[in-house]
Structure 1
């Protein structure tokens, strides 16, 4: 066996051992600390497997096996146990619930004894470890049965194709040598195409440029992204620019990996007046993994008859942050629209965390208009800003959703709800959008970076009007976001700001924005460690024109 083959075999053996890490027995902070040491492993293993002549399906399974490990633990609570016999299903469910009870434990203060909380924490941590070991024993027993040996494995190709319908999934493996995996119902196999123009050095350089400039965007980056990723994929699939009148454009569900998670594939294009762009060819959605996509698609969702409650939260004023006058207007307008659809509409203004958390279970629509934060140090602490603190990723995952049907829509009309500012955790997808997806929301609309207050209200109003006019359905939702952003994109292309220089664009940033605000220490870290990271590439010309493009950050995750 040559060195490449040995490397591929070793990487596959390491990936096979990942379940033994006992992630369930660790706090989310410890999970993150551990997984930061595995950054890029599955992407490298996938690339090496292809080079060693593994089949595309085998290589893609490796990629799925080593990504989204924290989400995998959360998604276990939604695992279909109907394949198991009654005794196995009961044992698995009981052990899984036992682990979840210990996940929520937090030590509290004690009267008089400063060591009591630590002792209690150690005892409870040990109990959680034992519960995890029991769950893992049950899983191993289930997987030893030939009938259920693939239990909790990544979804099979047949499972993915079974939920796709007319959609296409494109998985971009960003490694030292990049490939696109394609799954659709036009072929019975996973197809793979090389992306020779997408180099690692260029990707790192453009990512650094993009993160440092946000919320401005370098038009040259959008052109580069079109030329090296999106256009080759569309050309391979044979998708045409214009569809027949009355027909919906085809939809691609993108799974980006590594640094590519920072870049807007849905906005890639050459903006030179002719408009050769992603949005002229397709509708784009995203998902963190195949596992998350199948979970969203298979969830017992709700239609217009099933959505009974819309929870609308506005935070026009957040202590210490810039007022957002359009946030309150946004919720007021949506309240009228939701009421016209016959929904029980609960509006909360400048509410506290406990109030909002208590209202989320049982709602079919959750809408938040306000500020949000993306935490680059502890991404599980990224959160929606409420009156008395942040409703964080951890808060959502700890509570979960106790419902027989999946909530239809989580609409996060705030900054950075889909941003991953911890660069060594891009493949874990720890952000607010994925948190809402993991707790059961079939669709989540959020943002990749900072957004403008008024634009949020415009986008949200357009989407909800479509839902009211055409009915609540998957297609109406993602088509509504596509059409709303496309209209803004077309106006943007005519706007003077598109033709102005960088200094003029920066002046435009003085308007009200739902911007992230973090502590001074964390701000320094972002500037030093992330936003101004040194670009190693000499390839891309990362000095192009910076412009505002308020339509770009909005993105759809889900079914």
Structure 2
């Protein structure tokens, strides 16, 4: 161990002679921590692990590169959790706070996602540790702070600034101008290093853009500090505390947010008026259960629908009714314990008014149809599926549903009277979708009392659709959608001359957006490597301002699209007496449409795969 002692002595001497604020100090302390850790693995002496944790903690608290500080904080937290529980929650808290600096606004959105992806398991560990200590308030705060980081950053840049405009209008103007510029730079495409003389001018321009982007991010940080020094603005755009989150929840129902960890699975139930989240340990469910169900969904169901009958029949021998199995497992192991904890009645009155429930899943749960949990087929009776109890929606974060509900309450009670319809029965390079013509025609007929603009087939170009989205508060897309697994931000809607990508949509600010109906494939199917960032088209629509989105979790059956759309819009127009479209009733409209389709198809395995993928997100 002499070489380790020598290394430790050298690191300690270097640290002793370096300035406290030197940028290299965290790196030296990280190396010192590593040396002490290696020594502890041989000596098993408590003094060595304490010195190791101490070095990491000093590195995390020092000035320097956020990535090195985050590495120090993570090591300190994990080691303290294993060897010395004192202050481990402080270590976790610092690490989670540093995530937003590692994936800072000076980076493009693509790069921020790359930087975030390796830290997902650590965040789950932090939350699991907080729950094991009984710190449910902290667990909720970390769930909000550590997930959907990029969406939250985009939302911050689009903050309406009502209070700031009222009290300090010049600061609000500066913030708005900076935010617009930062958004523009954030959505640019990363370029690689120069590869030839011919590409040099283009690459030099890209480097200039990177420098300008970095300067803007620094200016933004300085402005934030300045605003937070103003009276009563000390918490401006800071992560919200638990009591603020709970006091801001909509009164129509509860939010259920999950944490899935290798050692435990938990749900937190949140309702307006609560002092603390209701902690619901999911004792009969595990991370391996979640992953197993996700794989069944992907292979036995999604693979079956896209890879032919012969391959499908081989899979079905092992599990002849995979969708029924998934929904039954979710019902027994996840949903029933939650309903019991929330004291929902065992005996239900058919037709009674139902409250709303927002699902906020994490990890592998993000790919499972929680909204359809239940027992179906010949064993079904009223009260054996979640839709008998509540009207379900999804939300990427608790913050999102709080903000969407607040916008709905603050906006004019008048209902929307302008709807953009986009149809693509024939898309170049793709098979035809003949039912989209029926779908669009039906929606036009139902909404004849309000203004609609139709862009279909050759008229539905990327440029035209983008332009019209800016001035229409509702948009209905009946066309192909695709989830790009290699580059999730390139996921999007397939139009006449190309793909309208999530990244392109994020570049624009739509006037008073209310609802987007994505009657297209895979519009709310996320990326498995970024499951806690919820990177899919439907979540992107929420991020750019839509209050609600209708999306699909996987490929849908083209022939049933018209039925869903018809029932959905008929419900809304009946509710308003032909007075317009009310986005706050969209979840109820989809619930009704789903019931109509389900009743017409019964509860066969094929029927479940047809209606289950439709979901509502937002308020």
TM-score between both structures, scaled by the size of structure 1? 0.84
Alignment correspondent of 1:198: 285
Alignment correspondent of 1:212: 299
* 8 Å contact from structure 2 (residues 416, 582) kept in 1: no
Q: 1:283 pairs with 391, 399, 413, which one?
A: 391
Superposed CA deviations along residues 489-522 of structure 1, whole A, max 9, x for unmatched, are: 344445xx44xxxxxx6xxxxxxxxxxxxxxxxx
Superposed CA deviations along residues 158-205 of structure 1, whole A, max 9, x for unmatched, are: 455434112111111112311111111353322111111111111111
C-alpha displacement of 1:6: 5.4
Alignment correspondent of 1:532: none
Alignment correspondent of 1:556: 616
* 8 Å contact from structure 1 (residues 41, 66) kept in 2: no
Alignment correspondent of 1:123: 208
Alignment correspondent of 2:562: 457
Q: Is 1:239 matched up with 2:344?
A: yes
Instruction: Return 5+ residue gaps in structure 2 as ranges.
Output: 1-79, 305-321
Secondary structure at the counterpart of residue 427 of structure 2 = coil
Superposed CA deviations along residues 317-345 of structure 1, whole A, max 9, x for unmatched, are: 111212111111111111122222x2243
2-side partners of 1:451 and 1:260: how far apart? 20
User: What are the residue-to-residue correspondences of 1:19-58 with 2, within 5 Å?
Assistant: 19-21=100-102, 23-54=104-135, 56-58=136-138
Secondary structure at the counterpart of residue 339 of structure 1 = coil
Which fold has the larger relative contact order, with Cα–Cα distance below 8 Å and residues 6 or more apart in sequence?
Answer: 1
C-alpha displacement of 1:101: 3.3
Q: How many residues align?
A: 503
* 8 Å contact from structure 2 (residues 438, 562) kept in 1: yes
Superposed CA deviations along residues 227-281 of structure 1, whole A, max 9, x for unmatched, are: 1111110111122366556642121111001110000001111225234111121
Q: Is 1:137 matched up with 2:242?
A: no
* 8 Å contact from structure 1 (residues 214, 449) kept in 2: no
C-alpha displacement of 1:25: 1.8
2-side partners of 1:445 and 1:6: how far apart? 44
Distance 1:211 1:400, change over 3 A: farther
2-side partners of 1:50 and 1:147: how far apart? 32
Alignment correspondent of 2:252: 166
* 8 Å contact from structure 1 (residues 214, 450) kept in 2: no
* 8 Å contact from structure 2 (residues 567, 596) kept in 1: no
2-side partners of 1:107 and 1:376: how far apart? 18
Alignment correspondent of 1:542: none
* 8 Å contact from structure 2 (residues 551, 614) kept in 1: yes
* 8 Å contact from structure 1 (residues 39, 424) kept in 2: no
Alignment correspondent of 1:274: 380
Superposed CA deviations along residues 390-426 of structure 1, whole A, max 9, x for unmatched, are: 111101111232x2x3x22100001110001x31200
C-alpha displacement of 1:488: 2.6
Alignment correspondent of 2:464: 355
1-side partners of 2:456 and 2:414: how far apart? 24
Alignment correspondent of 2:424: 315
* 8 Å contact from structure 2 (residues 137, 277) kept in 1: yes
Distance 1:211 1:298, change over 3 A: same
1-side partners of 2:147 and 2:122: how far apart? 9
C-alpha displacement of 1:448: 0.5
2-side partners of 1:334 and 1:197: how far apart? 44
C-alpha displacement of 1:83: 3.1
Superposed CA deviations along residues 443-502 of structure 1, whole A, max 9, x for unmatched, are: 1000011100121111111010111111233453211111221233344445xx44xxxx
C-alpha displacement of 1:97: 2.2
Alignment correspondent of 1:96: 179
* 8 Å contact from structure 2 (residues 420, 453) kept in 1: yes
Alignment correspondent of 2:99: 18
RMSD: 2.5
Q: Which moved more, 1:185-194 or 1:137-146?
A: 137-146
* 8 Å contact from structure 1 (residues 309, 343) kept in 2: yes
C-alpha displacement of 1:12: 1.7
Q: 1:440 pairs with 545, 548, 557, which one?
A: 545
1-side partners of 2:180 and 2:150: how far apart? 16
Secondary structure at the counterpart of residue 144 of structure 2 = helix
Q: 2:492 pairs with 383, 402, 420, which one?
A: 383
* 8 Å contact from structure 1 (residues 160, 290) kept in 2: no
Secondary structure at the counterpart of residue 323 of structure 1 = coil
2-side partners of 1:45 and 1:345: how far apart? 49
C-alpha displacement of 1:62: 0.8
Between structure 1 and structure 2, the one with the greater Rg is: 2
Secondary structure at the counterpart of residue 379 of structure 2 = coil
2-side partners of 1:394 and 1:205: how far apart? 31
Alignment correspondent of 2:308: none
1-side partners of 2:552 and 2:342: how far apart? 27
Distance 1:251 1:104, change over 3 A: closer
Alignment correspondent of 2:270: 183
* 8 Å contact from structure 1 (residues 155, 294) kept in 2: no
2-side partners of 1:113 and 1:551: how far apart? 53
